[in-house]
Amino acid sequence: MTREELRAELMTQLWRMNRMDMIELLREFIEGETAALWFMASAGKDRVSPSQISDEIRVSRARAANILRSLRSKGFVEMEIAPEDRRKMDVVLTPRGRRFLEEKYARLVRNFDAYVEVLGDANISELSRLLKLTADSNDRLQEKIMQEKIMQETASGGPGRKQNDR
């Protein structure tokens, strides 16, 4: 296979995976409301700040505020004045929020268990090895992208300039 064919095949399979129910469930734990609840439950603290949630789930402060507003309206979190600084607010996971998260997580685990059963131990081990390799190579990938960007900027005479702008 050529590089172009390999790239096309990889993109096709990733798009197919993206539509899987299991990936959709997992995505909820990575972004949005469930991700905020998951962070709060796994942070090892009774309370977290809205900015910690924003940083952890990689959303803007405004988006985090909207997520927290929604979670509050569902009774999954409460906002309390921070004891160490009364000008700030902390977010606290409620028992209702914890139950919701536990139910959601149990569904995710059932889906992954079924996936392991369907693919088999050997295939899951190989897939896990390849996914680890992929995740571990992210730093090298970002470095390569940055180097290519610098080379393009140098060739064009500086950041944001095109060759014919000079």
24-52: pLDDT as tens digits: 999 999 989 999 999 999 998 889 999 99
Cβ-contact 79, 68 below 8 angstroms: yes
- Residue 44 main-chain phi, psi, to 5 deg: 80, 15
For position 166, what pLDDT does the model report? 46
For position 82, what pLDDT does the model report? 84
**Whole-number percent of the chain with pLDDT over 70:** 95
Q: Which residues contact 8 (CB under 8 A, 6 or more apart)?
A: none
What CATH class has 3-119? mainly alpha
Q: What is the pTM of this model?
A: 0.75
For position 31, what pLDDT does the model report? 87
Give residue 114's Cα distance to chain centre: 23
Q: Which residues contact 60 (CB under 8 A, 6 or more apart)?
A: 54
Check whether 58 has a pLDDT greater than 50. yes
What is the CB neighbour count within 10 angstroms for residue 116?
13
| Domain coordinates in residue numbering, the chain | 3-119, 124-157
